[in-house]
Amino acid sequence: MLQEHIRNIAIIAHVDHGKTTLVDQLLKATDAFRANQQVEERVLDSNDQERERGITILAKNISIDYKGVKINVIDTPGHADFGGEVERVLKMADGAVLLVDAAEGPMPQTRFVLTHAIQAGLQIMICINKIDRDGANPEKALNDCLDLMMDLGADDEHLEFSMEHVVYASAVNGYARLDPNDGNDNMYPLLDMIVNDLPAPDADLEGPLAMQVVTVDHSDYVGRIGIGRIYSGTIHDGDRILVVKNDGSRAMSQVKQLFTFDYLGRKECQEVGAGDIAAVVGVDSTDIGDVYTDPENPVELEPIEIDPPTLAIVFEPSTSPLVGRDGDIVGGRQLKERLEQERENNVTMRIEELPDKTGVEVAGRGILHLSVLMEEMRREGFEFQVGRPRVLVKKDENGNKVEPIEQAVVECPGEYAGKVIELFGNVGGTMSQMDTGATQTHLEFKIPTRGIMGLKNRILNVTHGEAVFYHTFLEYGPYAGEIGGRQNGAMISMSTEKAVAYALGTLQERGTLFVGPGTECYEGMLVGERSKPGDMVVNVARTKSLGNQRSSTADIAVQLTPPRTFTLEEAMEYIMDDELVEVTPKNIRMRKRILNETERRKWRVRHGMVDK
């Protein structure tokens, strides 16, 4: 039976095409805020990192009320590293709004989120956003969307629905239009189309209870909170329910509190009926995929499978000579406890202690996925060190090694296309498509995840900063063999002292510096990159020898180029196997695993490695 008073919709898009801004405008259009209420932009991106990075990391649920219909809106992440969120939350929706930038058209991660929406059988309406932007071409963007849907296997019925349900919008200016030039200045055309044309949930209110958990929230007061859609029946506060796990195991539990979504918050209620989305408190150690059902008439639902992690990294307690200067949590035990807590709250990561107890291995969907956790921890006051990310290689049914393969897209001026193709060729990439436009060339590659590490900076260097680079996980493919790492050697500090301008002035002629005058350096720390292969130990504290006579001309001041700085992701992609990234609340430093030069040489001799 259709629940006409409810709509469950997901908003899907590539990173930075305006999903969260659009949700802001839907909230304003339905009077979610008081007339005098101060409202921040991108109100759903409540996490500090979401605001700073300008991306959605966690899927969010809100509900709005329009013409007597409750619209449950799911704001999904657009970045493939958070794909685990997208796959699951789409199970709660009956329809989706595909948001596409009118100037850029569909991008690699549009393909990623759209693939999941089509596989889930959702009816998809298209919203061409940013029609006021310079270079906007709404008609081309729409045709590209329909072509992409055909490529991804959408059937005729879904294609026809999408062709007939198109809205043109400028989310930042707060309007949606059925025609780009019709002059409407509000969001009601989009809301009307959602209510009138997207399907209502088909659910049996009288049947046995069946609810599946797709998101797990966590509260320090009540523990885990299972969030999911009710497919049949009604759940009441205080009900005794049967919990069926993904592995088939069963246990009885009791609903202690029940919430439904109400605008930006949750509202406690006594019952929630089929077709709606509920948050349930009381099921200990609830997990994604759990089915809450009637003990007398249990209902079976398809288990939820989460895509496996593709990258792993080892967290270790910091052994830096400067440990404890910036952070106040430096012990191995606290690090392990924090990561075990993360394992409870974050089911998309695999977190296991190493057999020798020297560290904890964390596996995730990509560099960004892992760096979000590290950034969170350093803000909490942790100091730790991590090694180079390791790609998780598997074996197929024939026993052959397979590794994660990514689809990479580069858009750059035509004059640089040859250099970009050469870069990809050096790291195992193969070109799958090339489109030459009037000013820009569009290149697509298939490349092992190992080859992606550190590639972005090299692409920006050879294109003089004019390239746009995106990549997304595609599949597991044949192992590509050895892939070359960093070409240039590192400059390594020989002592624990502050860097001096005079010494840096002579060193910058030999390569690129990572530190400026007055920076605290220590023995074994990476202070720069050579312009040649092979590491070089340098003295960053060398001062000018002064005689007892005055110079006939005044000393010329040392002209220093600003040092190159690294984000967490860039530092992890830059280091080699014998190097570490030291993470503190105030600094990100790169260092050799063995700090002493003599010890490093002995280690290299023992392992049959000879300096170039």
**Separation CA 334–CA 480 (nearest Å):** 39
Fold classification of 6-197 (topology level):
Rossmann fold (3.40.50)
What pLDDT is recorded for position 588? 92
Sequence-distant (≥ 6) Cβ neighbours of residue 518 within 8 angstroms:
498, 499
**Separation CA 16–CA 133 (nearest Å):** 14
Angle at 578 between CA 575 and CA 583, to 5 degrees: 55
What pLDDT is recorded for position 171? 84
Flag whether 19 is marked binding.
yes
Which class would CATH give 490-606?
Answer: mainly beta
Which class would CATH give 210-293?
Answer: mainly beta
Equal fold, 394-478 vs 490-606: no
SS3 372: helix
Flag whether 328 is marked binding.
no
Flag whether 18 is marked binding.
yes
**Separation CA 340–CA 351 (nearest Å):** 7
Q: b vs e for 272-293, b when ≥16 Cβ sit within 10 Å of the residue's Cβ? A: bbbbbbbbbbbbeebbbbbbbb
Closest CA to 20 of 58, 68, 66: 58
Q: Which residue has the tokens 């690699």?
A: 108
What is the helix (H) or strand (E) element at residue 126, kind and residue range? strand 123-129
- What are the start-end ranges of the E strands in 393-497? 394-395, 401-413, 430-436, 440-448, 468-478, 490-493
What pLDDT is recorded for position 551? 54
Q: Would you list the domain boundaries of the chain?
A: 6-197, 210-293, 394-478, 490-606
What pLDDT is recorded for position 13? 79
Sequence-distant (≥ 6) Cβ neighbours of residue 154 within 8 angstroms:
118, 124, 162
What pLDDT is recorded for position 367? 81
- Strand order of the sheet with strand 223-232? 250-254, 240-244, 291-293, 210-219, 223-232, 277-281, 257-262, 265-268
Divide the 612 residues of the chain into consecutive groups of 10 and give the mean pLDDT of each group. 83 74 82 44 39 42 84 69 62 87 79 80 89 85 89 86 89 86 84 89 84 77 81 87 82 86 79 86 80 86 76 91 86 89 75 88 83 87 91 85 86 89 89 82 88 83 84 81 79 92 90 92 93 90 72 60 88 88 92 91 78 47
Flag whether 561 is marked binding.
no
Number of neighbouring beta carbons within 10 Å of residue 416: 17
**Separation CA 598–CA 576 (nearest Å):** 19
Flag whether 451 is marked binding.
no
What pLDDT is recorded for position 537? 93
What pLDDT is recorded for position 80? 47
Q: b vs e for 27-53, b when ≥16 Cβ sit within 10 Å of the residue's Cβ? A: bbbbebeeeeeeeeebbbbeeeebeeb
Flag whether 464 is marked binding.
no
Q: Which residue has the tokens 């393969």?
A: 405
What is the total residue count of the chain?
Answer: 612
For the record, the structure tokens of 389 come out as 């990310």
Counting Cα atoms < 13 Å in the Cβ hemisphere of 76 gives: 34
Flag whether 131 is marked binding.
yes
What pLDDT is recorded for position 16? 67
Flag whether 155 is marked binding.
no
pTM of the model: 0.70
With respect to CATH, is domain 394-478 assigned 1.10.10.10?
A: no
Instruction: Decide: 75 and 19 in contact? Cβ < 8 Å.
Output: yes
State how beta strands 390-391 and 311-317 pair. antiparallel
